[in-house]
Structure 1
């Protein structure tokens, strides 16, 4: 019985976390990595799931809202399937190539389930970013534009999107599907 309460306490504690630090295995540590060139759509299939990340444009202007969204499509044999995830199955991690800045995506971590109908995309628009505390005033100014929806500063950006979910609580079959899009912001 003590073991049951310990497990329930740990699940409750995990569900109370307010932010997930997104660390993508494919994200190089080199802040001088070159800009790969504009790519507005990227797809990756894993098992019966297709994950798609889309930027509506190759080039945005300073002050213009950046329109990015992610989609997850179930393509299996069942009519529908239930997935479990944090507040959302989607994460968006920004990397600005000229400055070498990374901006994370905050994510509350309750366990939520979502039903996916076969061949019907689950879609979520990018809605904001966060980052760890940093005393660099240039970085703080850069981050402020993200947080206040002022649009992005001039730069060359890569957004790494990740779909992170599991099929059910019993089997805990987990998925982590990663894609990237790139774009520039000009005057």
Structure 2
């Protein structure tokens, strides 16, 4: 019995003694008041019940969430795998967007160092009109690359004058890459030498990813901007004679 209960029992005892009761009735009241562990047991039981109920409620609410999260993670994993499968690169690809087809092509997937590398892009109009007008910079085509063994980014610059081009239905507009690449006087010698060769379209041995794009605006009452992207890869094998 804690201090509060002792004081309560003493107070009740004083009140009972002031009432005219039989000794038997007083004795019953005293026993009821002084029953050992009466209130603490009740309080412990109540606290324990609340704790158990809280844990059960927590589990009931949490388990479905965990299950959903696990399911979502599984779906994301599957989705990521699917994306990776879709992004498996080849030497040729094409992308349809609206009334246009964008093609990005390497003539071969493997070249020997010193051999000419032929990479080109096409834009074909496949809509209902016989001819459409597109507006773009000096060229609508971009051919930036990444050489993955050295982790070099090969930039591809396009000047931005306003150029109009007319596309006939079913007749592709084609352009071959001019190499790209750049360096500064502060670049390392190895990097400079690499870029100088790329600028001459004499690609050093390595693995190349072309991050191609075509960017233009379709002329008309409502101009529509297009930016279609695609990737291909090719490998330059080291020339055994060099």
Answer whether TM exceeds 0.5 for this pair.
yes
In structure 1, the residue corresponding to 2:181 is in which secondary structure? coil
Which whole-Å CA distance do the structure 2 matches of 1:173 and 1:38 have between them?
A: 29
Which whole-Å CA distance do the structure 2 matches of 1:61 and 1:37 have between them?
A: 23
Query: Which runs of 5 or more residues in structure 1 are unaligned?
Result: 1-35
Point out the structure with the larger helix share. 2
Aligned length: 151
Aligned match of 2:166 in 115, 123, 145? 115
Alignment of 1:88-107 (within 5 A): 88-107=139-158
Which whole-Å CA distance do the structure 1 matches of 2:191 and 2:134 have between them?
A: 37
Kept in 2: contact 1:74–1:118 (CA 8 A)? yes
Distance 1:131 1:171, change over 3 A: farther
Which whole-Å CA distance do the structure 1 matches of 2:176 and 2:200 have between them?
A: 17
Alignment of 1:95-174 (within 5 A): 95-133=146-184, 135-149=187-201, 151-168=202-219, 171-174=222-225
1:66 matched to which residue of 2? Answer: 117
What TM-score results when the alignment is normalised by the length of structure 1? Answer: 0.76
CA offset at residue 175 of structure 1? 0.2
What TM-score results when the alignment is normalised by the length of structure 2? Answer: 0.59
Cα deviation code 1:5-56 (max 9, x no counterpart): xxxxxxxxxxxxxxxxxxxxxxxxxxxxxxx876111111111000000000
In structure 1, the residue corresponding to 2:195 is in which secondary structure? helix
CA RMSD of aligned residues (A): 1.6
Greater relative contact order (CA < 8 Å, ≥ 6 in sequence): 1
